[in-house]
């Protein structure tokens, strides 16, 4: 019988919860208490050390989430806390519990994650899939495991031939295809429909228009970047010509958005993107209507239409987009906030904008990742798939 996950009752877990207060800007309050139940004192100190070292909020949040899952899984699967460094056998067990063949499971109940381990994780709301995990999720958690091992000054077995072989074979056996974060891209035509859905003059309409236009027009900002943008990051620029090839064309307002630290940039990278034309006007209208002169740009609005001081969460950005998708008569299950990012690159491909120029605005570091969206647009408009129509 595997050990159940503990409850927050002891002085030790309360002390860990207080220690995690230092991360309250990164970890939601409820999540902090949950992690205090699962993590060890050394785990908490590792997270606090990473915060002091200046690790980005999103990276730290992901590491904390993965660490909490790994600790819970290890306790459910072995009855003990996560050992540091983890032996190769435990790493292989993790792969075997999360990547498996459903067909083989039908004839071999011991294949895959044991039922009692799955029940324990599901009871803690940590396991939400019935089948094997996505290979990328397993790879990410192994990567987080390796990162945390390194930060503890230890060397793990993450490059051991046995683990590499087990992971390769498990991925090959897994039936889960790679899925995009948003099934459909928010291209210009979809964006137009969403803007029409928030064409009113209520404060929430003004905010949502500015949010959607900024997220798309600034290169497809991630939902975390859009949610946390602050007024101090906006720098007014001289107006620019509407037609870059015609300096005498009408002038458009221009803003520079200093990105600070993001998923692919550091605070000292001086990374920035530009916002030109209609998105700038929508953003200025929102700031004026909301009376925002400092701090978070996009903030929550309560049910009575009153502006709150707290910034939107990344999850709220996703919900806003889905609500506007539904109001536009589209399927909200087919879209997520990441669709703004993929949609931006898809649209640049449709319009023949060079990939290098599009990547300057999107701030993609990987040509391969950016090209996936960009090339999809070219393929849809090309002749290769139109031999029989």
What is the per-residue DSSP string for 69-88? HHHHHHHHHHSSPPPSSPPH
Q: How far apart (Å, rounded) are the C-alpha atoms in residues 277 and 289?
A: 19
**Which of the listed ranges 40-49, 53-62, 132-141, 287-296 does the model predict with the highest average pLDDT?**
287-296
Question: pLDDT: is 8 or 293 the higher one?
Answer: 293
* Residue whose structure tokens are 């964006």: 191
Q: How far apart (Å, rounded) are the C-alpha atoms in residues 193 and 330?
A: 9
* Residue whose structure tokens are 């309050």: 29
Q: How far apart (Å, rounded) are the C-alpha atoms in residues 376 and 374?
A: 6
Q: How far apart (Å, rounded) are the C-alpha atoms in residues 96 and 104?
A: 13
Q: How far apart (Å, rounded) are the C-alpha atoms in residues 160 and 372?
A: 31
Mean pLDDT of 107-111: 85
Query: In sequence order, what are the residues at sequence separation of 6 or more whose Cβ sits closer than 8 angstroms to the Cβ of residue 333?
Result: 183
What is the pLDDT, as a whole number, of residue 230? 93
Q: pLDDT, tens digit, for every residue of 15-29? A: 555 555 555 544 544
Q: What is the topology classification, in CATH, of domain 188-381?
A: hpI Integrase; Chain A (1.10.443)
- Which of 43-47, 65-69, 131-135, 196-200 bottoms out in mean pLDDT, i.e. has the lowest? 43-47
What is the pLDDT, as a whole number, of residue 378? 54
Mean pLDDT of 35-62: 74
Query: In sequence order, what are the residues at sequence separation of 6 or more whose Cβ sits closer than 8 angstroms to the Cβ of residue 202?
Result: 305
What is the pLDDT, as a whole number, of residue 19? 52
pTM for this predicted structure: 0.59
Instruction: Check pLDDT > 70 for residue 359.
Output: yes
Q: How many Å from the N-terminal Cα to the C-terminal Cα in the chain?
A: 61
Structure tokens at 335: 């879209």
- Which of 278-287, 299-308, 363-372 bottoms out in mean pLDDT, i.e. has the lowest? 363-372
Q: How far apart (Å, rounded) are the C-alpha atoms in residues 59 and 26?
A: 10
CA dihedral 74, 77, 83, 86 (to 10 degrees): -90
- Residue range(s) of every CATH 1.10.443.10 domain in the chain: 188-381
What is the pLDDT, as a whole number, of residue 268? 46
Does residue 85 have a cis peptide bond before it, meaning omega lies within 30 degrees of 0? yes
What is the pLDDT, as a whole number, of residue 29? 44
Q: How far is CA 312 from CA 22, 153, 160, 296, 363, in A?
A: 21, 37, 43, 8, 22
Q: How far is CA 270 from CA 52, 252, 266, 376, in A?
A: 21, 24, 8, 31
């Amino acid at each position: 019988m595997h050990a159940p996950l503990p409850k927050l009752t002891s002085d030790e877990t309360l002390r860990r919860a207080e220690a995690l207060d230092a991360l309250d800007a990164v970890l939601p309050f409820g999540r902090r208490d949950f992690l205090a139940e699962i993590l060890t004192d050394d785990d908490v100190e590792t997270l606090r050390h990473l915060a002091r070292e200046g690790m980005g909020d999103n990276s730290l949040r992901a590491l904390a989430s993965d660490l909490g899952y790994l600790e819970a899984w290890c306790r459910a699967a072995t009855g003990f806390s996560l050992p540091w460094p983890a032996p190769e056998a435990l790493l292989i067990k993790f792969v075997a519990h999360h990547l498996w063949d459903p067909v083989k499971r039908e004839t071999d109940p011991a294949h895959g994650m044991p039922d009692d381990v799955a029940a324990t994780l599901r009871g803690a709301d940590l396991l939400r899939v019935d089948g094997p995990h996505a290979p990328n999720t397993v790879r990410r958690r192994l990567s987080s495991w390796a990162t945390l091992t390194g930060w503890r000054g230890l060397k793990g077995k993450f490059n051991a031939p046995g683990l590499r072989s087990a992971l390769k074979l498990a991925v090959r056996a897994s039936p889960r295809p790679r899925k995009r974060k948003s099934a459909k891209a928010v291209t210009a035509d979809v964006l137009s429909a969403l803007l029409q859905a928030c064409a009113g003059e209520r404060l929430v309409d003004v905010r949502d228009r500015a949010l959607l236009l900024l997220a798309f027009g600034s290169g497809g900002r991630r939902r975390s970047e859009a949610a946390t943008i602050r007024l101090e990051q906006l720098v007014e620029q001289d107006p620019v010509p509407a037609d870059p090839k015609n300096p005498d064309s009408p002038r458009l307002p221009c803003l520079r958005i200093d990105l600070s630290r993001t998923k692919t940039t550091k605070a000292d990278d001086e990374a920035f993107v530009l916002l030109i034309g209609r998105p700038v006007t929508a953003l200025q209208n929102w700031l004026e209507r909301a009376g925002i002169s400092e701090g978070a740009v996009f903030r929550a609005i309560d049910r009575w239409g009153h502006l709150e001081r707290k910034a939107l969460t990344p999850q709220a950005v996703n919900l806003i987009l889905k609500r506007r998708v539904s109001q536009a008569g589209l399927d909200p299950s087919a879209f997520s906030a990441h669709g703004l990012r993929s949609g931006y690159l898809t649209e640049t491909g449709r319009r023949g904008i060079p990939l290098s120029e599009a990547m300057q605005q999107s701030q993609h570091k990987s040509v391969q990742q950016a090209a996936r969206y960009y090339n999809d647009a070219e393929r849809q408009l090309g002749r290769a798939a139109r031999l029989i129509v």
